[in-house]
Chain A
Amino acid sequence: MEFAPRLMPVQVDEGGGAALLRTITGMGLTVHTGTGTQEIVTGEDGAVSAMKLSDGSELATDLVVFSAGVRPRDQLARDHGLTVGERGGITVDEQCRTSDPDVYAIGECAQAVDGRVYGLVAPGYEMAQTAAAAMAADREARFTGADLSTKLKLLGVDVASFGDAHGTAEGCLNVVYSDSRSGTYKKLVMGAGGELLGGVLVGDAEAYGLLRPLTGTVPPLPPEQLVLPAGAGAPVALGPESLPASAVICSCHNVTKDAIQACATLPEVKKCTKAGTGCGSCVKVIGQLLPHSGDKGLCDCFGQTRQELYEIVRVLRITSFRALLDGHGREAARGGEGCEVCKPAVGSIIASLAPTIGAEGHVLDGEQAALQDTNDHFLANLQKNGSYSVVPRIPGGEITPEKLIVIGEVARDFGLYTKITGGQRIDLFGARVEQLPMIWTRLVDAGFESGHAYGKALRTVKSCVGQTWCRYGVQDSVRMAIDLELRYRGLRAPHKLKSAVSGCARECAEAQSKDFGVIATASGWNLYVGGNGGATPRHADLLAQDLDDAELVRLIDRFLMFYIRTADRLERTAAWLERIDGGLDHVRDVVVHDSLGICAELEALMADHVTHYRDEWAATLDDPERSRASCPS
């Protein structure tokens, strides 16, 4: 039931409305246009039985769904005596001031000077800017009306309109393509000078992202080629590169093409310009505008990505950085030293694959010592004054009083500052390089090992206290956290890995902010992946539900090894999951449904890691060469 003479009267013209009506009727719906509802008739039981329509007819029905559209909510203004429009909406002037000059109104509660109430986000932002400018005594700011360009779907049918969609400008001409077989209708409104003024797209709104920014300019192609379907006489597809630099790509945030091209990546565009964060319809075009750098190389030394280098190292069993650089590096870099980007990245790849490719298992053995960042080289974390901090592993955050006392004694004897970390362990700060072996000796003798706080490796598996103590706990989260931490300790990855296990849905361990997080259910465990805290927090996605212990471990094995294999350098799981083609669904296909047939291999890689794990502190203390490599005097 539509009161107006056609569907979506604001967005589309008569031709577009007809195309839309035909498509929707074809879906089996009956549409009454130009008709109002006079009365809703109820039966004796009080239930709806029919609607009486304005044309006198009656329609039998047992359910009525109202779609009321945007109506200004202006009661607050009415209660306080502000002027409101005849059909609602707080009346504002060009500065967005109400009838009381000290009160401003913006957005869909306000009626702008052109008499319209704007229910879209872009005009709302524009009004907000105008009001803010007016408050800051900027007399130039004006809001006189806004672009009502929209792209939406009605029952799955694309509908878009932009600019002067109804051709109200004087002397304008229409270029129309209509194919009622496919339900496609496209109209461009052209000005007398050949400039694009607006348009309507129904059934196929693919071109919206390109046409809207061209509004107001003379398009680079004749208008008929802009509306014809691909292959039907349209010789070239119009790419976003043909847009002028000043073309507005994101109309929600009024961001131009040149502002977008000042950025290198989509996340950067979103952060710096907000483009693509409103309705999102411009994201595809933004992607086409960003540099498709032909060179995806890791650094000036390697033309390959980290993932490609991983495959080269794995398949060719390359165990030395020099061999990789001299055999596979860029021509100019061969025979050189490498750089601070590729050395640690390759060191990490070799460490991840060490047991499988037959490389030295210790990060300070042989040439590997020269590849490690200072933190990995000294097996401790460099602080701003050149001293180091030491973090012993406390799996799952569970610790005995005896071990707590040892940490206290070590800190006291070496004069270290102590702090409880967010990962449920204790950081000892202020150690000088030459003190590190003595500190490790004391800790290792007491049964501690390296916590890998310095490595791009598993950090900690945090846990809540779980079912043993907590009245809400449904599983033993501490035991599972300890099991997972001991299984994945020392695993070198493209970036650090954090994890947590919560014993019930209350989620006290904050597992959903971790690279892999586990939450207990009454019948097992739910596995979440790709969570992150920090500067760009991301809630983890649910990968699988109600797993038993063995299923959980097997899935995490596969997930971590797939991540290590395919992620970029310094790419956390959250960014990786956002970046890779197919996202979470693809990762689920690969690690849960084994769509690539690699799960057995991923599990074998992890089994190798688990078998060959050795504490790096103890192994360094046991070997004078390593100690010397780590701590040269």
Chain B
Amino acid sequence: MTTATRAARVQLRLNDDWFEICERARLTPGRGIAALLPDGRQAALFLDREGRAYAIDNRDPFTGAAVLSRGLLGSRGGRPFVASPLLKQRFDLETGRCLDDDEVAVTVHPVRIA
């Protein structure tokens, strides 16, 4: 799988496989990037200040725009969230649940740095 000399990469779990997104160095702590998945969907990847990675669906369910990767990362009570850049609803990065509307959630993707 990985070699010792290779730079750390961010991988996302898709259909029982780890799908490689990019080098970890491409991610800025506290911000996200968007990744195009093989099935045409988009994922939003984030790195927190401790270097932990998170991935959720990039589509903002409130507006339908693929923008969650451009939101601001925050934490509340030790739990990380992203605030949509459009109308500012917050999504828990570990559960995908919207913190401002109980009935809304986004898909969470398992992610690892390898």
Contact = CB atoms under 8 A, between A and B. Distances in A.
Given A369-B28, A371-B30, A632-B33, A378 B72 contact: no
A224 interface: no
Contact of B65 (A340, A370, A373, A385): A385
A319 to B, nearest CB: 16
B88 interface: yes
Contacts of A629: 28
Contacts, number: 72
A384 B70 contact: no
A288 B86 CA distance: 37
Interface in A22-70: none
B75 A370 contact: no
Contacts of B48: 337
Interface residues of B, number: 28
B55 interface: no
Most interface-central of B31, B66, B77, B88 (chain A CB within 10 A) = B31
Interface residues of A, number: 27
Most interface-central of A322, A338, A375, A628 (chain B CB within 10 A) = A338
Contacts of A338: 30, 74-75
B69 to A, nearest CB: 9
A377 B73 CA distance: 13
B61 interface: no
Interface in B57-114: 63, 65-67, 70-78, 80, 83, 85-86, 88, 90
Contacts of B77: 332
A466 B35 CA distance: 52
Contact of A370 (B30, B33, B86): B30
Contact of A384 (B65, B66, B72, B75): B65
Contact of B67 (A343, A373, A382, A632): A382
A422 interface: no
A587 to B, nearest CB: 31
A548 interface: no
B75 A339 contact: yes
B83 to A, nearest CB: 4
Contacts of B67: 374, 382, 386
B90 A367 contact: no
B80 A340 contact: no
Contact of A367 (B30, B63, B80, B85): B30
B90 A340 contact: yes
Nearest to A385: B65
A384 B30 contact: no
A371 B73 CA distance: 9
Contacts of B86: 382, 384, 386
Contact of B75 (A336, A375, A377, A386): A336
Nearest to A388: B70
Contacts of A589: none
Nearest to A364: B28
Contacts of B34: 632
Contact of A337 (B26, B28, B49): B49
Contacts of A370: 28-31, 73
A272 to B, nearest CB: 22
B70 A378 contact: yes
Interface string A343-380: 11000000000000000000000010111011101100
A300 interface: yes
A373 B83 CA distance: 10
A147 B80 CA distance: 57
A608 to B, nearest CB: 27
B28 A339 contact: no
Given A337-B80, A374-B70, A386-B65, A322 B75 contact: no
Contact of B31 (A344, A369, A386): A369
Given A344-B72, A370-B73, A384-B63, A336 B78 contact: yes
A193 to B, nearest CB: 50
A243 B49 CA distance: 51
A209 B66 CA distance: 54
Nearest to B26: A632
B74 A386 contact: no
Interface in A380-409: 382, 384-386
Contacts of A374: 67, 70-72, 85
Interface string B7-33: 000000000000000000010111101
A280 B76 CA distance: 41
B70 A382 contact: yes
A369 B77 CA distance: 24
Contacts of A337: 30, 48-49, 73-75, 80
Interface in A461-478: none
A138 B66 CA distance: 53
A344 B31 CA distance: 13
A629 B26 CA distance: 9
A493 B36 CA distance: 36
Contact of B70 (A322, A333, A343, A377): A377
A373 B85 contact: yes
Contact of B74 (A343, A375, A632): A343
A333 B75 CA distance: 8
B72 A373 contact: yes
A588 B17 CA distance: 67
Contacts of B33: 632
A375 B66 CA distance: 15
Contacts of A333: 75
Most interface-central of B74, B75, B88 (chain A CB within 10 A) = B74
Interface in A323-342: 332-333, 336-340
B74 A339 contact: yes
Contacts of B26: 628, 632
Contacts of A322: 49
Contacts of B63: 384
Nearest to B74: A339
15 contacts: A336-B74, A337-B30, A339-B83, A340-B83, A340-B90, A367-B29, A369-B31, A370-B28, A371-B30, A375-B85, A377-B70, A378-B70, A382-B85, A384-B65, A386-B65
Given A340-B83, A632-B34, 17 more contacts: A332-B77, A337-B30, A337-B74, A339-B83, A340-B71, A340-B72, A343-B30, A343-B72, A369-B28, A370-B29, A371-B72, A373-B72, A378-B70, A382-B67, A382-B70, A629-B28, A632-B33
- 6 A-B pairs with the lowest CB-CB distances in the bound complex, closest first: A370-B30, A339-B74, A340-B83, A374-B85, A386-B65, A337-B75
